[in-house]
Structure 1
Amino acid sequence: MAAVRLTPNGVTATLAGDLDLKPVVQVLDIKSISVNGPPGAAPRFRILVSDGTATTSTLLASQMCDLARSGLVRRGAIVQLTQYIVNNVNGRRAVVILNMEVLIPECDIIGNPVVAPESGVSNPNFMKVNQSNGVPQIGSMQGNTINSGITHTGNDPVIQRLMGGNSSNLVVRPSDSARAFQPTVQPPYRPAPNYKNHGTIMKNEAPARIIPISQLNPYQGRFAIKARVTAKGEIRRYHNAKGDGKVFSFDLLDSDGGEIRVTCFNALVDRFYEAVEVGKVYVVSRGNLKPAKKGYNHLNCEWEMFLENQSTVEFCPDEDCSIPAQRFSFTTIDRIEDSENNAILDVIGVVTSVSPTTTIQRKNGMETQKRAITLKDMSGRSVEVTMWGDFCNREGSQLQQMVESGVFPVLAVKAGKVNDYSGKSVGTISSSQLLINPDLAEAHCLRQWFDCGGRDASTQSISRDFTPAASRNEIRKTVSQIKDDGLGQGDKPDWVTVKAALTFLKTDSFCYTACPNMIGDRQCNKKVTKSDSGNWLCDKCNQEFPECDYRYLLQLQIQDHTGTTWATAFQESGQDLLGCSARDLYMFKENDDPRFSETLIQCLHQDYLLRLKVKEETYGDDRRIKNTVAKVERINPVVESRFLLDGISRLLASY
């Protein structure tokens, strides 16, 4: 249990009338006390509290009695008094607790406290209660009757606070034998000499208690959670009616298995992004809880925490070994087939193939990388897992090297997203994690199964139109099949992979002059022409530039054993084919450099895997099929042999 610190001199200062202190004290005793009032009136409770040095008896207001009845407040509990009043009763001070917060339900008794002066604990008649409409009335007692010596009406502000606004029927009548007590209007507080400046626990600076994530709710007041960062998203920028902004999120896992997402906006991104590291343990406090949006948050928690200016994220240098590094709930591949589209799940399997990275253009015009792998498990099914962005170069490159060297690793995918387009597949999202050969019982079981015969076990893919050497859309076709199958004649283009050789390349116009202007993160790349001033003019940007860029626009002929066709290759594909930039090749040609011919010759009559976009286009009145090279890959004999053997195995299995 974490060290407990009670507010020094908290009892003395409270009795002195400091209503802003909010002391942290310990409950030494709790008793139900008699109540005179309407029939069936609920009992009241008196609790003896201590600051470790002094004790005093206090009375719970009616609205707080449920804490005592439920047992949440009991002997040894550490509580913080957040709202209370102090009355003068027969020359003694009496504390009525209007609101408090339970910090620790049970704890050993701290210190050797003694009765505080003017606490009234030794008075046997102190704090017997008469009740009218549930309102505590404190005074000197004769039997069970209050003799306060003063009449309170429903307009008394203190009584209104105790009554929650309902005090219209309250009248406490004076008794001739009673000594009047003072009204509850508090005198100005003069701090006790031995209390001033006693450390950071003063005022409301008591440390927030650490609670499990599973017990979080928005009504707890101050709290803290101790958890490990299991995932950290990239900084995303957005624009709305309030202007531009940025945001990032990270996921936390505590020792009880509870998970929650924490989100930071704008200035808090600068404050916490570099401080938060995946795998480290932190104590996070003063966050604002809001209902989680399940469309964007896959964690099994109904709340999401939003950090604010007063929030803290404190690193724990001695990491808690009781907090696991990650929590998985694996779904077997055969069950993925029945999962809903966009479902978030964990999957584990043996990697049997890895495709090369391809570059695609998103709807927003930005380019991103994509790579596909195949996972198989003991359910007799295999699935395509698509990696996006940085996953392609990090884990993707490592997986490709392992598979090409004959090592088939086990891969665990945390938080993959199900896609049901053309079968079922799993894709990475910003909060996904890929663990290669993890130290998990499921991974060891898969490893043993694969090495003891699972490698040769036949499996059925739940991702249709999938080949091991390519992603789901990279269907292997021959040149003749492009025409025979009527590819490219639909509303959307067809994407196919062709194994073919480059037999001819037009050299009269292999590149064009492009605009070098940067528009945001992208280059303009529109065609520019020379103006009368000798500069390069871009009609789109309406600007002139002293220098232009050169970009490939290659017209090439490809051929396989079934036929020949024409294709167009732009910048990235052209550079992959020729091995040099368009500017360099242009300069070779302008300067009659022999390297121009050498560059062209070395790429001719070589086999490539060409990723083609096939689409019918109209030129005047003529409609023709246009093949655009989206990706170029040189043939890897190991991967290609494995692809052919797998095709033979599938063919034999179909008979």
Structure 2
Amino acid sequence: MSINLTPNSIAAINGGDLNLKPLVQVLDIKQIGTSQERYRLLISDSVSTHHAMLATQLNDRVKTGRVKKGSVVQLIDYMCSDVQNRRIVVVLNMETIVLDCDIIGNPKLGDMTAQKTVSNLNSAQPGRSVYDNRGNMQSFRPAFNAQNPGSNNMQGLQTNPLLQSQGMQGSHPMLMVPNGSNGVLRSATGKNNNNTQTYAPTVQPPYQPPPSYRNQGPIMKNEAPARVIPISALNPYQGRWAIKARVTAKGDLRRYNNAKGDGKVFSFDLLDSDGGEIRATCFNAVVDRFYDVIEVGRVYLISKGGLKPAQKNFNHLKNEWEIFLEAASTVDLCPEEDGGSIPQQQFDFKPISEIESAENNSILDIIGIVISVNPSVPILRKNGMETQRRTVGMKDSSGKSVELTLWGDFCNKEGQNLQELVDSEMFPVLAVKTGKVSDFTGKSVGTISSTQLFINPDIPEAHVLSDWFARIGQNSAAVSISRDLVPSGSKNEIRKTVSQIKEEGLGRSDKPDWVTVKATITYFKLDSFCYPACPLMIGDRQCNKKATRSGTRWVCDRCSQEFDECDYRYLLQFQIQDHTGLAWVTAFQESGEEIMGYPAKEVYQLKHEAQDEARLSDVFRSRVFYPYLFRLKIKEEMYADETKVKITVVRADKIDYSSETRHMLDTISRFRRY
């Protein structure tokens, strides 16, 4: 990877530029100090070098190997001061961009310390051994004065503060210097065997300590507004920048725990008028500032953020950088008229036929006609938290169909809307922004936290696809690239009678069967229609596991906690009947409330607290012989070493006679064709 260091950054730092945030290379690291551990870096911009002191809070960067010789780093925050004509740079904050790298360019010694050392070399008294700033002894040859050979530049002894600090004032030591012509040693008295010259040592002036400088006030900074640039022009070498962009997606607020402690983070995606995209991320205190401010679809002016390489495992955008908002960052909402040139969303659709050759876990955008929607089912994750899953069938003009898996809130929002449209035989166009490819069951696409779903979007691709489906696609076959997808419709859309469940052996395969049955309820089991559930929250969801009484309190085995009051959830067991036969089914909380019309706790109190048997009987009697459209999940399960087919009510809808009449007429018309 080619790395370009920030040009002329050493000169800019020496000039007092504190907003540059340059990219430099560390050529050397040395530990200095005894009472307090400090590190000194030799930094380079590929042409010049300079020494910099590392703030003590950054010592662990060196100790843990996050900064080493050859590392390319970005100086985020630093300060400069002059002490004894020497420019001191103290690095307060920095980020490692490349840990290991060969020496970049041909850097030359440009440090002010080195320049002062050279000055000492030219001005030191002949024969005097002095120590440089590294503590190494240096001996110097004098500059010979042709007009006054006897002088040999003795004035340097009077004025050189380095020699003064070595104890030269007020004394007359024996100074041994090489003769300029033949190298024979001579003393300060001028006597030797070959040549005699007398030097009268001069009296040194009193030592004057260097002036002490204090910070008398804030340093003036350039407060002019930063220039707005395209997202595509952002790079870490810029000191001040601003972008105007629309928020196209906003991630959930996530909490984490690592070696540094607890924290929180959220991200959002930005799109500008040139089509550039980039992700912005906030941590901890910055989350509190901006989480409620950021809204999807709004346009913002963002500046004073840091840039780091994007983590491609989590960031799908086509940008090598990612913005990290800081304490000094600004996010200002722009008027609506300012965002007229910025599109609402940007897609890069791939035909469904190309998904078959896509790599697993790759991210892409797809668009297609929704041909089937399965019911939402609860799924228990490995971390013990429960979520929802719903599968949707899609096809497009490429002649292929694919299964789209909706997770979490997508099942209840867009998933429910799609279910209603397909049930009404209105097959919508669905655009999926940021879907994740999976090869678990053939090839399928699933939603992630940054996924966005657009039903019947007003975009050219949707209009073309809708026209194709109306003319050709509705009656054309599509080959599924997902093994479990039925191209002509999902299993739950197939109407069955009660007798067909047993006759066709539904639920006996490895996967559950989903069917729809029109039937009435004929009988309820009243001895156990609900159960006590744990009311505690696991993450953002209620535990709902069965609770047991322990004295006057309740205990949950999963949460290992006690609580005063439990919740109650439905576990209805009842018999359904149509014109072909009877079947026992089970309904849990959501479908139980759809059937009963009361919360489980109210019905429980009627039986066990009020002991109003008459009222309880009336509640259940009012649900008997009432017609429903049951969506059933049929699966064979093991009970006491015996396999039984279990029928679960996933959803119970009251009959909509208008839509039911249309269904019956369509069924009759299909039979008339044969």
TM-score, normalising length: structure 1? 0.63
Q: How do 1:477-492 residues align onto structure 2 when only pairs under 5 Å count?
A: 479=498
Q: How does 1:38-437 map to 2 (within 5 A)?
A: 63=47, 200-201=221-222, 210-220=228-238, 222-317=240-335, 319-355=338-374, 357-400=376-419, 408-437=427-456
Matched, 1:618 2:639: yes
Change (3 A) 1:286 1:508: same
Which residue in 1 is equivalent to 2:170? none
Number of residue pairs aligned between Structure 1 and Structure 2: 527
Q: Identify if the C-alpha distance between structure 1 residues 305 and 616 changes in structure 2 by more than 3 Å, giving closer, same or farther.
A: same
Residue 596 of structure 1: SS of its match in structure 2? Answer: helix
CA contact (8 A) 1:468 1:643 kept: no
Supply the AA of the counterpart residue of 2:618. Answer: S
Q: TM-score, normalised by structure 2?
A: 0.61
- Between 227-236 and 372-381, the greater mean CA deviation after superposition: 372-381
**Aligned-partner Cα distance in 2 for 1:527–1:402:** 39
1:514 aligns with 2:498: no
Structure-1 separation of matches of 2:500 and 2:143: 103
Instruction: Sort the Cα spacing of 1:475 and 1:224 in 2 relative to 1 into closer, same or farther, 3 A.
Output: farther
The answer for unaligned runs of 5 or more in structure 2 is 1-10, 21-44, 50-77, 88-106, 113-118, 148-152, 163-208
Is 1:632 matched up with 2:615?
no
Q: Which residue of 2 aligns with 1:116?
A: none
The one-letter code matched in structure 2 to 1:593 is A
Distance 1:172 1:322 in 2: 72
Q: Distance in 2 between matches of 1:154 and 1:475?
A: 97
Provide the residue aligned with 2:546 in structure 1: 526
Among 562, 577, 594, the residue aligned to 2:595: 577
Q: Does 1:568 align with 2:568?
A: no
- SS of corresponding position for 1:628: strand
Out of 417, 436, 445, which is 2:464 matched to? 445
State the alpha-carbon separation in 1 of the partners of residues 145 and 657 from structure 2: 107
Query: Where do residues 18-57 of structure 1 align in structure 2 (5 Å cutoff)?
Result: 21-22=16-17
TM-fit CA distance, 1:346: 0.8
Q: Helix, strand or coil for the counterpart of 2:248?
A: strand
Please report how far the alpha carbon of residue 273 of structure 1 lies from its aligned counterpart in structure 2 after TM superposition.
0.6
566-575 or 311-320: bigger deviation? 311-320
CA offsets 1:120-144 (integer angstroms, 9 cap, x no match): xxxxxxxxxxxxx967899xxxxxx
- The 1:634–1:354 alpha-carbon spacing in structure 2 relative to 1, beyond 3 Å, is farther
Shift of 1:251: 1.1
Aligned-pair CA distance for 1:233: 0.6
Q: For residues 21 and 526 of structure 1, do their structure 2 counterparts lie closer, same or farther at Cα, with a shift above 3 Å needed?
A: same
Distance of aligned partners of 1:222 and 1:463 in 2 relative to their CA distance in 1, 3 Å threshold:
same
CA pair 229-183 structure 1, distance change in 2 beyond 3 A: farther
Q: Distance in 2 between matches of 1:23 and 1:295?
A: 34
Instruction: Return closer, same or farther for 1:549/1:231 CA change in 2, 3 Å cut-off.
Output: closer
User: 1:542 offset after TM fit, Å?
Assistant: 7.4
Corresponding letter in the other structure for 2:612: N
- Asked whether the equivalents of residues 149 and 175 of structure 1 are also in contact (C-alpha less than 8 Å), the reply is no
CA contact (8 A) 1:372 1:471 kept: no
Q: 1: distance between equivalents of 2:500 and 2:145?
A: 108
Query: What is the match of residue 166 of structure 2?
Result: none
- The question of whether the paired residues in 2 share the 8 Å contact of 1:465 and 1:473 is answered with no
- In the aligned structure 2, how far is the partner of 1:307 from the partner of 1:512? 50
1: distance between equivalents of 2:82 and 2:562? 75
| Distance in 2, Cα, partners of 1:515 & 1:336 | 43
In the alignment, residue 17 of structure 2 is paired with which amino acid?
K
Q: SS at 1:556's partner residue?
A: strand
Given that 1:510 and 1:554 are in contact with CA atoms closer than 8 Å, whether structure 2 keeps it comes out as yes
In structure 2, how many angstroms separate the alpha carbons of the residues matched to 1:349 and 1:610?
25
Q: Look up the equivalent residue of 2:256 and give its one-letter code.
A: Y
**2: distance between equivalents of 1:170 and 1:446?**
86
* Alpha-carbon offset, residue 635 of structure 1: 5.1
Partners of 2:492 and 2:516 within 8 A in 1? no
Hey, what's the Cα distance between the residues in 1 that align with 2:386 and 2:650?
12
What is the RMSD of the two structures over their aligned residues, measured on CA atoms?
5.5
Question: Which ranges of structure 1 fall in alignment gaps of 5 or more residues?
Answer: 1-14, 26-60, 66-80, 89-94, 96-132, 139-145, 161-167
Compared with structure 1, are the counterparts of its residues 275 and 587 closer, same or farther at alpha carbon in structure 2 (3 Å cutoff)? closer
Following superposition, the deviation at residue 329 of structure 1 comes to 0.6
* Contact persistence 2:406–2:415 (CA under 8 A): yes
The 8 Å contact of residues 474 and 611 in structure 1, kept in 2 or not, is answered as no
User: What SS class does the counterpart of residue 368 from structure 1 fall into?
Assistant: strand
Query: How many percent of aligned residue pairs carry the same amino acid?
Result: 47
What displacement does 1:617 show? 1.7
Shift of 1:486: 5.8
Provide the C-alpha distance between the structure 1 equivalents of 2:671 and 2:603, rounded to a whole number of angstroms: 45
- Structure 1 residues 299 and 197: alpha-carbon distance in aligned structure 2, compared to 1, 3 A threshold: closer
- In the alignment, the residues of structure 2 paired with residue 18 and residue 380 of structure 1 have an alpha-carbon distance, to the nearest angstrom, of 62
Is this contact kept in 2: 1:465–1:472, CA < 8 A?
no
Change (3 A) 1:188 1:476: farther
Offset at 1:412?
A: 1.9
Distance in 1 (CA, whole Å) between partners of 2:418 and 2:475 is 20
Which digits, 9 at most, give the CA deviation of each residue in 1:96-137, with x for residues without a partner? xxxxxxxxxxxxxxxxxxxxxxxxxxxxxxxxxxxxx96789
String of CA shifts for 1:154-189, please: whole Å, max 9, x gaps: 9877xx9xxxxxxx9999968889999x99999869
Partners of 1:609 and 1:635 within 8 A in 2? no
How many angstroms does 1:581 deviate by?
2.6
The verdict on how the C-alpha distance between 1:366 and 1:151 changes in structure 2, with shifts beyond 3 A counting, is same
CA distance in 2 between partners of 1:276 and 1:387 (Å):
25
Q: Aligned equivalents of 2:438 and 2:359: distance in 1?
A: 8
Does the Cα contact within 8 Å between 1:332 and 1:347 map onto a contact in 2?
yes
Matched AA of 2:323: M
| Contact 2:535–2:567 under 8 Å retained in 1 | no
CA contact (8 A) 1:612 1:629 kept: yes
Alpha-carbon distance in 2 for matches of 1:399, 1:313: 36
Is residue 534–residue 547 contact of structure 2 (8 Å, CA) maintained in 1? no
For 1:51-86, what per-residue CA distance to the aligned partner results, in whole angstroms no more than 9, with x for missing partners? xxxxxxxxxx99169xxxxxxxxxxxxxxx999999
Larger Rg: 2
Q: Deviations over 1:462-487 (max 9, x none)?
A: 44444589868888766556556666
Check the 8 A contact 1:291/1:302 in 2, yes or no. Answer: yes
In the superposition, relative to structure 1, how do residues 223 and 174 fare at CA in structure 2: closer, same or farther (>3 Å)?
farther
